[in-house]
């Protein structure tokens, strides 16, 4: 069973000194602090004294879970730090990585920080103090240079990180965005709206693929149809869809850059009685059972988690000593009906 991890955003945790704080005060790497705190070797006495002085000044206390580990005992736990577990995307990654780790006799400690850079740092520090064998991280947009010298292998999932050269397993977001746009253009659509969640790395690459498809087809994009949403939820997508569809020159097709946005698009279109072509990115429950099943660009999210866990286990065991790897999983277009509507269907109203 996965071990749940306390919410690092809880107020009581904010003021607690971390190993990151100690490393900054002592002017050393996180891995050096970890070795001093956990009684490891390979640290010069002068450096160790500086670390211990920083610990005393800050009042840092080591996580008691780490004390239970005997010196020299190898950890059989991996850590996975990711976003909101109520999101099916993250839940699928977690389940798949748990399965792979379990097959090799490893447990997985889960940390959910939901796009909070400071919360992520605190969570990672706590996990390092537990002497996990390796870290899998779906990174936020902050600087991850603090992980240099952490003393454990790190694999980033879904997005690359800044400030550190490490393994990354991700899907071909740019290729998926291109697939969606190419498909709609092939149906005869020239006015395609794209709804964008707040621009994390993945969404930016999907937009890049969308633009590339238009350039290849020689069709200019109406920039007013490139809609950057304030939030990446269904409610924001529903509002934006109403606005673009009620314009005098509405789009004949819509590309929703996430599955949450696709849900909002469909809700708004149902209320308006409009039927533009719709393509979503990432599949979602019941998408194939709607009156008009939803065409999506999909990738194997479970394989994302499995690949990351396999790579981390190989790194932790020493079986893989290659330079950092970049593994990109392909996307595929699943045609179901909503993305195959012709341009003249956009203004049609459903009979009731």
Q: Quick one: average pLDDT of 135-149?
A: 86
* β pairing state of 77-82 and 107-112: parallel
pLDDT tens profile 260-302: 999 999 999 999 999 999 999 999 888 888 889 999 999 999 9
pLDDT for position 322: 93
List beta partners, residue 207.
none
Provide the whole-model pTM: 0.78
pLDDT for position 126: 81
Distance, in Å, from the CA atom of 3 to the CA atom of 319, rounded to the nearest integer, reads: 26
Q: State the helix-helix crossing angle for 117-129 and 19-26, rounded to 10 degrees.
A: 90
* Nearest by Cα to 100 from 90, 88, 108: 108
Q: Assign 140 a pLDDT band (cuts: 50, 70, 90).
A: confident
Q: DSSP label at 147?
A: G
Distance, in Å, from the CA atom of 65 to the CA atom of 62, rounded to the nearest integer, reads: 9
Residue 85: enclosing H or E segment and its boundaries?
A: none
pLDDT for position 66: 43
Number of neighbours of residue 251 by Cβ within 10 angstroms: 26
pLDDT tens profile 223-239: 999 999 999 999 999 99
Q: Assign 67 a pLDDT band (cuts: 50, 70, 90).
A: very low
Q: 276 with 192: CB under 8 angstroms? A: no
pLDDT tens profile 38-66: 666 678 888 888 988 888 888 776 654 44
Distance, in Å, from the CA atom of 102 to the CA atom of 109, rounded to the nearest integer, reads: 12
Number of neighbours of residue 17 by Cβ within 10 angstroms: 16
Distance, in Å, from the CA atom of 342 to the CA atom of 328, rounded to the nearest integer, reads: 33
pLDDT for position 138: 92
């Amino acid at each position: 069973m996965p071990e749940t991890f306390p919410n690092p955003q809880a107020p009581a945790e904010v003021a607690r000194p971390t190993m990151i704080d100690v490393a900054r005060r002592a002017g050393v790497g996180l891995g050096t602090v970890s070795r001093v705190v956990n009684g490891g070797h390979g640290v010069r006495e002068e450096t160790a004294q500086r670390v211990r002085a920083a610990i005393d000044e800050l009042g840092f206390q080591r996580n008691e879970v780490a004390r239970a580990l005997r010196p020299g005992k190898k950890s059989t736990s991996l850590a996975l730090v990711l976003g909101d577990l109520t999101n099916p995307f993250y839940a699928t990654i977690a389940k798949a990585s748990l399965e792979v780790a379990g097959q090799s006799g490893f447990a997985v400690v889960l940390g959910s920080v939901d796009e909070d850079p400071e919360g992520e740092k605190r969570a990672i520090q706590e996990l390092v103090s537990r002497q996990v064998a390796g870290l899998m991280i779906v990174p936020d947009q902050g600087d991850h240079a603090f992980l240099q010298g952490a003393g454990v292998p790190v694999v980033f999932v879904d997005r690359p990180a800044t400030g550190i050269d490490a393994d990354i397993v991700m899907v071909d977001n740019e290729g998926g965005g291109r697939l969606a746009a190419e498909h709609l253009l092939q149906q005869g659509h020239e006015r395609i709206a794209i709804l964008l969640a707040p621009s994390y790395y993945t969404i930016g690459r999907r937009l890049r693929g969308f633009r590339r498809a238009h350039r290849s087809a020689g069709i200019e994009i109406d920039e007013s149809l490139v809609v950057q949403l304030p939030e990446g939820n269904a409610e924001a997508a529903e509002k934006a869809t109403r606005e673009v569809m009620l314009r005098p020159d509405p789009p004949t097709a819509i590309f929703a850059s996430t599955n949450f946005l696709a849900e909002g698009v469909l809700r708004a279109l149902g209320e308006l009685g409009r039927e533009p072509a719709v393509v979503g990115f990432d599949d979602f429950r019941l998408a194939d059972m709607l009156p008009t099943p939803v065409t999506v660009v999909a990738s194997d999210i479970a394989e994302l988690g499995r690949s990351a866990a396999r790579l981390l286990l190989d790194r932790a065991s020493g079986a893989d000593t290659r330079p950092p790897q970049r593994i990109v999983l392909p996307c595929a277009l699943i045609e179901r009906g909503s993305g195959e509507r012709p341009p003249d269907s956009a203004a049609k109203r459903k009979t009731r």
